[in-house]
Amino acid sequence: MRTTKSFPLDNPEKFKKELFAWSQEFDEIAWLDSNNYQQENSNFEAILAVQAFTALKTDYHGAFDQLQEYQETTKDWIFGYLSYDLKNDVERLNSKNFDGLRFPDLYFFQPQKIFQVKADSVEFHYLRMVDDEMDEDFAEILDLEERGERKEERLRNQEILPRISKEEYLVKINKMLSHIQWGDIYEANFCQEFYAENCQIQPSVVFSKLNEISGPPFATFLKLEQHYLLCASPERYLKKTGSKILSQPIKGTARRAENKEEDLQISEALAKDPKEISENVMIVDLVRNDLSKIAKKGSVQVEELCKVYSFKQVHQLISTISAQLENGIPAVEILRATFPMGSMTGAPKISAMKIIEELEETKRGLYSGAVGYFTPNGDFDFNVVIRSILYNAEDRYLSFSVGGAITAKSNPEKEYEECLLKAKAMHDALSK
């Protein structure tokens, strides 16, 4: 179905920039960049998919069934996203909060052209209908002059508004703490939105700035018609390689410091912080439970527990849980059984999602969903959509959300400060 051709690269980093710039002419773009981050454990440094041949776009009703049919019928690479509100397809839940972005709940496409950038080469994977364009496209990318980036007026911080005030946030956190004290939940992820209306940005420029600021292992630029995702995620949701399933939830955050000694002290303190560790361990238990639904008995194991990983702006506690897939489980069923990811919901999961819906002011949509791809043989890799800017170019509505895990030990003021820390990269990418 696809023709593959490899081209050597003298300067992969330069080629990546040229390839990303070249891609902007297409209506459908999925760009996934690992930023050479070792923890990503990928077979390529970056992957680009452009120009839909077929596509699936739907709301949450029967979404996973439709995706399974599309994936199994296509038997090809497909790229796309699962929005958080697919929870309503998995459980008897609803989403009635305000939605300024109006993204479809699920969107996948089969690209005509795929590019895998590796250490010293790039592989083109083209559908046969366009494989005569490989050499011409490679030459065009290499000859691409630095495209002049239009100097869009930057958003000023005062144009980015909080959906709720700090005072309202503190009230809501205290309500969530009451739910914990009553025994309804023992952890939940509470998020708040920052937004701008009637704004215009150049998405590729803002994404490049955001990626430069953060340098995460699961950076993603997604363009699907008028809908854009500019994502600097450090978190993997789920990866399938053959019969092995891998999940790497993040819970636990601390700031970076410019002074090396102080930065090391902050990292070491995070590794020992009982509140942050308890957050992480609760989600690890939830992930183990989710994976056990589709795993061979006794195969679920914790490979790493609460290990500190350092990114440009924050230190994070990451755990790695793996499992062996039970025979006969379809690829999409693995996602259905584990979605939404525990790190963005809480525990018990269904109770947490109900309370989240009650207390949050906006529909999450693609935020805290997942972006990734399926390979022709049914393997997949998906990130968690956090540290991300979402933009509807037609409505000129821009949004980013941040949140954190609330437990019995949470201090509302400190939780608010953590939100502002997580929001800093998005603010900087939009206003500097």
Active site residue ranges: 235, 251
Query: Smallest Cα–Cα separation from 27: which of 215, 225, 291, 278?
Result: 225
C-alpha distances (whole Å) from 394 to each of 48, 60, 199, 310, 416 are: 24, 22, 10, 37, 32
Give me the half-sphere count of Cα atoms (radius 13 Å) on the Cβ side of residue 271. 11
Give helix 166-182 / helix 412-431 axis angle, nearest 10°: 140
C-alpha distances (whole Å) from 209 to each of 93, 146, 231, 292, 293 are: 37, 16, 11, 40, 40
User: Strand, coil or helix: what is 16?
Assistant: helix
- One DSSP character per residue, 18-72 reads HHHHHHTTSSEEEEEE-TT-GGG--SSSEEEEEEEEEEEEE-STTHHHHHHHHHH
User: Strand, coil or helix: what is 297?
Assistant: coil
Give me the half-sphere count of Cα atoms (radius 13 Å) on the Cβ side of residue 419. 26
Give helix 12-23 / helix 203-214 axis angle, nearest 10°: 150
What is the four-CA torsion angle of 341, 393, 35, 388, rounded to 10 degrees?
-40
What are the two backbone dihedrals, phi and then psi, of residue 111, each rounded to the nearest 5 degrees?
A: -80, 150
C-alpha distances (whole Å) from 31 to each of 12, 49, 91 are: 15, 7, 31
| Contact by Cβ (8 Å): 204, 230 | no
